[in-house]
Structure 1
Amino acid sequence: MTASLGKRIGWLNTEGLLRLWLLVLAPLSYLFFVYNLVLDYRAGGHSWKQGDWLINGQNGPVRRSFAGDVILPMSDALAMDPVLLVIVVQVVVVALVYVLSLRLALSAGGAAPLILALSPAFFMAFWVTDPLGSARKEMLAFAALLLFAQGVIRPSLVWTALGCALFLVAAAAHEALLLFLPVFWGVLCLAPGTPGARGKVVLLSLTSTAALLLFLSAMGSSRVEDFMTVCAPLLERGVAEHMCQGAIRWLEYDAVHGFDFVYSRTTPELMFWFLLAYAASVAPFAYVAYLTDARRLCAALIILPFLLFLPLFAVSTDHGRWISFHVFAAFLLFAVAIRLGRVRLVRRLNAFLLTGLFVAAQLIAPMHVRDVYFGGPVARVWEEARALLP
């Protein structure tokens, strides 16, 4: 009777349990994300999580200032705390990322996209494991890619255009997000001959040109001599001074300083744990590739995103975030390929191996600054819950 009921409701088989895990993880992860934003607001904001969004060019051209140049006038017009306005934007954009990711994973069909979500670097888990790695501008690129992917799958030029427009916002907000541009082309290459493909190629070509121009413009003002010129407009609006000690202060440094900083803090022990966490993060993708009838394509969908974000590892110690970039891009490409029938599972799932992947994700997970956290998102939530108890 239990087996019959399990078959009827679809939760007591392997795929059903994977689906259940994702449907539990997603809302809890989002609520945890919002909870941490509330803590940020009560502390007057976080110098990286909100500070990065408040970089502005009110006193002269500054790279990464687009978000701040939009938010500050809006906060003035609304008579609203700039930090609170940033948090509202973050809550809305991340909600879009969660909804579209769930839609993509569940609509692709089968267990493969659900297995990929077991990765400890998948954003739903990663942002819980280390909240300091969340609420950053990459959420704009994530949302843009998800919108674009919906436009390719449906197919719909409107969704595609929305994704392209949001990506230009992302590229203007942070020049490093240009590295996501080839992922858009990868999505398009997975859907040759679909209705409206020619129009999407033209649209993405125009978007690529505009994004490259934005990148060149950012490189023209790559360094700030005194971070207080960026901080001053915030202080005038009552923003706490500590907000200038993170992303804003880092504007004084260039890529050479970043490289030296990474090199000076590289040790064999750190590299060991970093590589172990990376292996745990990509293991679900390797397993899905093994299960499919398109191993070469799957290998390309794993390796090419890694190569895209490889330069970031040399200039910043935010290695966990760079792993999450890789994992998100690979997840999106896999899900689109599966949804379009380019990749199919031809081998049976192994419950023992899946359990191992889940346990590995809980045992060791990447932190945003080249470190590991033992316990993954489950342990992090438990730790936070215990701290709230009397």
Structure 2
Amino acid sequence: MVQKQFRLAIFTMIHVALFSQIYLAHLLWQTSEPHEWILGEWLINYQGGFIRRGLLGEILFQLSHLLSINVVHLTIIAQIIVFAVFLYSTYFLIKESPLSPATVALIFSPAFLLFTVWSWPYVSVRKEVFLYITLVYTCLYLQRSTPKGFSLPILIGISAIVLVLIHEMLVAYLSYLIIPVILYERRFGQLARRTLLALLPSMIVAILLVTRPTINETTWKVLCSSIQPVPPRDCLSHGEYLGAITFLTKDTFFGIQFTRLFTTPETIVVYVLTGLLSVIPILYVVYSYKLWERLARTVLFLIGLCFSATIVLTIPLFIVAADYGRFISIHITCISLTILWFLQLSPARIDPETHQTPFVWIGIVLFLINWKLPIWLLFATFQHAFPLISLLLAQR
């Protein structure tokens, strides 16, 4: 009975996240011009030539012509469909998670599935949702099938290339796709080796994309003019207003200067605190279920190596871009999905030793409602990250 109520709570949370984006989609549909970030990132295409981040926009552009539909409206519809696929597949992955304070803290963390809700409307359906879908279906495949041959590695390899062509920053997170394979085999077996080999082409593609020069004015104009009936605001302002498309014309030095412009002692402290708070539920689950006892030292070393590689690869993102909350949330989401899947991987589950007293549950609730992860540096203030605490302090 209690487990059914837990599944219902997860199902409800899934729909809260979905409906928050449906309402945002409704607002975006009503606007006279597409949002330069929320939609602009998805509208980048190859009409002006081959550029980074253009695959998804090119697919949407071709579909809009094929279906004779406004490409902006098609993008809004696509965002909702893709987000719904992610949420419902995630529900099937985590619905049998054991009920405990640790798993509740992990599933309902403001840095996980509810990231889009706590920071609404600034957090929308971003391109990393395709990484999440790839990870979820990899876990589901390993959970329900017995991988044979090269089928799974090839699928992961093709997906990785697509992810990098959608957004080159996702190459930094590709290590998360091999961790479930290592956990499934409990070693660096044949399947894991084939998966690693399958990921190499995507890394080469990412290097080629990152080293390409920024797009010129002609390409930018063609790209903007291809978005009809009205392009995003950064196109309408002739690049004076920054957006996802305009940023393609900027170099790395501009990104560094832009990030420094919004970096203050307060933003650093806020992200250190919210970053640590984001990690606490993960550590709580690992400690409560003593997950390390289920793995050999070699496996732990390999997982640590994959995680370290991901951390190192994402460090440059924090130097050249201001979306700190976004980068942190991708880490937390991938790790959380993997842990929740691993808890169900074998029939023999380990019950947590944590005493589930009312005080523990009250502490979990207070933990979950007293902070949120700001999406980028502009919102990284104590008042925005800790609204309830800031409100109480203001009343004194």
1:91-102 equivalences in 2 (<5 Å): 91-102=80-91
Letter in 2 for 1:32: S
Q: CA deviation at 1:313?
A: 1.6
The aligned residue for residue 180 of structure 2 is: 187
1:238-257 equivalences in 2 (<5 Å): 238-242=229-233, 244=235, 245-257=242-254
CA distance in 2, matches of 1:67, 1:80: 16
Provide TM-score, normalisation by structure 2: 0.81
1:139-158 equivalences in 2 (<5 Å): 139-157=129-147
Letter in 1 for 2:2: G
The aligned residue for residue 391 of structure 2 is: none
CA distance in 2, matches of 1:108, 1:198: 29
Corresponding residue to 2:337 among 332, 337, 346: 332
The alignment-based identity, stated in percent, is 23
**Could you say what secondary structure the match of 1:224 adopts?**
coil
Corresponding residue to 2:61 among 72, 76, 94: 72
CA distance in 2, matches of 1:302, 1:347: 29
Q: CA deviation at 1:192?
A: 0.9
1:43-80 CA deviation, whole Å, 9 max, x = no partner?
A: 13211111111112212221111112221121111111
Corresponding residue to 1:314 among 312, 316, 319: 319
State yes or no: 1:138 paired with 2:138: no
Provide TM-score, normalisation by structure 1: 0.82
State yes or no: 1:36 paired with 2:52: no
Stretch moving more, 141-150 or 220-229: 220-229
Q: CA deviation at 1:86?
A: 1.2
1:163-242 equivalences in 2 (<5 Å): 164-192=157-185, 198=190, 201-202=193-194, 204-205=195-196, 207-226=198-217, 227-234=220-227, 237-242=228-233
Distance change >3 Å, CA 327–CA 132, structure 1 → 2: same
The aligned residue for residue 368 of structure 1 is: 375
Across the two proteins, how many residue pairs are aligned to each other? 362
Letter in 2 for 1:96: V
Q: CA deviation at 1:140?
A: 0.8
8 Å CA contact 2:322–2:376 kept in 1: the answer is yes
Distance change >3 Å, CA 208–CA 160, structure 1 → 2: closer
Letter in 1 for 2:258: F
Corresponding residue to 2:46 among 35, 54, 57: 57
The aligned residue for residue 266 of structure 1 is: 263
Question: Where in structure 1 are there 5+ consecutive unaligned residues?
Answer: 1-8, 380-390
Distance change >3 Å, CA 306–CA 364, structure 1 → 2: farther
Q: CA deviation at 1:162?
A: 5.2
8 Å CA contact 2:97–2:343 kept in 1: the answer is yes
Corresponding residue to 1:82 among 51, 55, 71: 71
CA distance in 1, matches of 2:54, 2:105: 38
1:112-147 CA deviation, whole Å, 9 max, x = no partner?
A: 544311221113344442332221111111111111
State yes or no: 1:281 paired with 2:278: yes
8 Å CA contact 2:40–2:244 kept in 1: the answer is yes
CA distance in 1, matches of 2:182, 2:174: 13
8 Å CA contact 1:318–1:369 kept in 2: the answer is yes
Stretch moving more, 251-260 or 107-116: 107-116
User: C-alpha root-mean-square deviation of aligned residues, in Å?
Assistant: 3.2
CA distance in 2, matches of 1:99, 1:378: 30
State yes or no: 1:291 paired with 2:282: no
CA distance in 2, matches of 1:302, 1:105: 23
Distance change >3 Å, CA 88–CA 373, structure 1 → 2: farther
1:17-65 CA deviation, whole Å, 9 max, x = no partner?
A: 6545423211111011111012112113211111111112212221111
8 Å CA contact 1:53–1:67 kept in 2: the answer is yes
